[in-house]
């Protein structure tokens, strides 16, 4: 009777050419981290966001996800590395990024789902009312420019005008010939044709899916290229019902690719869609008002909570008998606006 370990070895050996070490769990890996630049957040997530893994920042709008991501990017660009911002909802604000310390020269910005008409600057056109202009000359006569100097020129151009008036209906009767009216062609063949240049109104839902698809494909290409130390996939403005429909295999693919290229992938969303593919998952609560200033908007207080974190480093291999002191699972910090100086 073979033991379980023997069977396991046999199964693994049989499957080795397809799935190497199929039944052995992968080794636990404590990844290197890059600090986010926010002290209390770094303390909460054991040093910073992991390198070569997917980190997810989940929260509603006005919860401070973008600020955290920009703070993280500022640390990376300061080290001379390059990063990318895949903007799924076209809401990136370069001035805010520059104020957060991000080197814009080292940041590739991909704008997805841009609607062309937004680019046109609205201009105020000035036009005088009609009353200011001289009235148009009133045309006289059947053919527009008639009434000559003599009564005989009154009928000048009359046959042509009649022809235009009657159009194809004009009939020249011939003697003893039955007059057959040409049958009008049914116009419905024409009416069903839609010209290719006519603008097609897309429903809002289709636009959102277009933007998500563009963002996912761009991210795929960038991860495969390699060399980007951080890639931020910003689905923060995308409603949860759309983000939830992204296939789970997409996130798994990103996770594997990030591990190979050693780039940090940061996903900003309203709904935790990456599930187990994310190494670190943070939930940010809506920010709170600080009530510090009465005249100038000074900032807001943000709060984050760790939803999941893989393989945190243990201080020692010895398992204590008593329950060890537990880490705090949430932290809060103040985010001040760019026009507020340090005090």
Site size toward another protein, by CB under 8 A: 87
By CB under 8 A, what part of segment 87-126 binds another protein? 89-101, 103-112, 114-115, 117-118, 121-126
Binding flags for another protein, 291-320, as an x/- string (CB under 8 A): x-x-xxx-xx-x------------------
Interaction of residue 143 with another protein, rule CB under 8 A? no
Asked whether 65 and 55 are in contact (CB, 8 A), the reply is: no
The single-letter DSSP state of residue 145 is: B
Is the torsion defined by CA of 216, 255, 51, 20 positive or negative?
A: negative
Cβ within 8 Å of residue 305, ≥6 positions away: 282, 283, 284, 285, 329, 330
Interaction of residue 331 with another protein, rule CB under 8 A? no
The single-letter DSSP state of residue 181 is: P
By CB under 8 A, what part of segment 161-190 binds another protein? none
CA–CA separation, 203 vs 200, rounded Å? Answer: 9
Interaction of residue 287 with another protein, rule CB under 8 A? yes
| Closest approach of another protein to the CB of residue 25, in Å | 29
| Closest approach of another protein to the CB of residue 223, in Å | 10
Strands (E), 7-82: 33-34, 49-50, 54-59
How many beta carbons lie within 10 A of that of residue 89, not counting itself?
19
CA–CA separation, 272 vs 262, rounded Å? Answer: 23
By CB under 8 A, what part of segment 215-234 binds another protein? 217-218, 221-222, 224-229
Site stretch for another protein (CB under 8 A), options 7-15, 142-150, 198-206, 334-342: 334-342
By CB under 8 A, what part of segment 35-54 binds another protein? 37-38
| Closest approach of another protein to the CB of residue 294, in Å | 8
163/227 with CB nearer another protein: 227
CA–CA separation, 79 vs 73, rounded Å? Answer: 10
Interaction of residue 275 with another protein, rule CB under 8 A? no
CA–CA separation, 35 vs 253, rounded Å? Answer: 25
| Closest approach of another protein to the CB of residue 138, in Å | 34
């Amino acid at each position: 009777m073979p033991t379980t370990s023997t069977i396991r070895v046999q199964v693994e050996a049989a499957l080795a050419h397809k799935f190497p070490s199929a039944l052995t769990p992968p080794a636990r890996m404590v990844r290197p981290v890059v600090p986010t630049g926010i002290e209390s957040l770094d303390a909460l997530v054991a040093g910073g966001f992991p390198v070569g893994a997917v980190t997810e920042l989940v929260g509603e709008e006005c919860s401070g996800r973008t600020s955290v991501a920009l703070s993280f990017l500022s640390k990376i660009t300061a080290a001379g590395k390059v990063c990318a911002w895949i903007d799924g909802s076209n809401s990136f604000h370069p001035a805010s990024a520059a104020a957060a310390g991000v080197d814009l020269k080292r940041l590739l910005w991909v704008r997805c789902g841009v609607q062309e008409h937004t680019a046109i600057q609205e201009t105020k056109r000035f036009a005088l009312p009609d009353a200011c202009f001289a009235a148009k000359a009133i045309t006289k006569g059947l053919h527009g420019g008639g009434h000559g100097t003599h009564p005989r020129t009154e009928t000048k151009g009359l046959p042509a005008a009649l022809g235009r008036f009657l159009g194809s209906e004009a009939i020249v009767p011939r003697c003893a010939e039955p007059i057959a009216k040409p049958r009008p062609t049914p116009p419905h063949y024409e009416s069903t044709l839609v010209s290719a240049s006519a603008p097609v109104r897309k429903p809002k839902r289709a636009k959102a899916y277009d933007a998500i698809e563009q963002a996912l494909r761009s991210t795929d290409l960038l991860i495969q290229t390699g060399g980007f130390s951080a890639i931020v996939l910003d689905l923060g403005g995308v409603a949860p019902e759309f983000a939830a429909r992204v296939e789970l295999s997409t996130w798994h693919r990103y996770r594997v690719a990030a591990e190979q290229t050693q780039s940090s992938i940061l996903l900003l969303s309203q709904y935790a869609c990456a599930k187990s593919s994310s190494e670190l998952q943070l939930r940010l609560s809506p920010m709170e008002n600080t009530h510090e200033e009465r005249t100038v908007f000074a900032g807001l207080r943000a709060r984050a909570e760790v939803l999941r974190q893989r393989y945190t480093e243990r201080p020692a291999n010895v398992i204590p008998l008593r329950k060890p002191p537990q880490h705090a699972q949430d932290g809060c910090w103040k985010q001040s606006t760019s026009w507020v100086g340090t005090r």
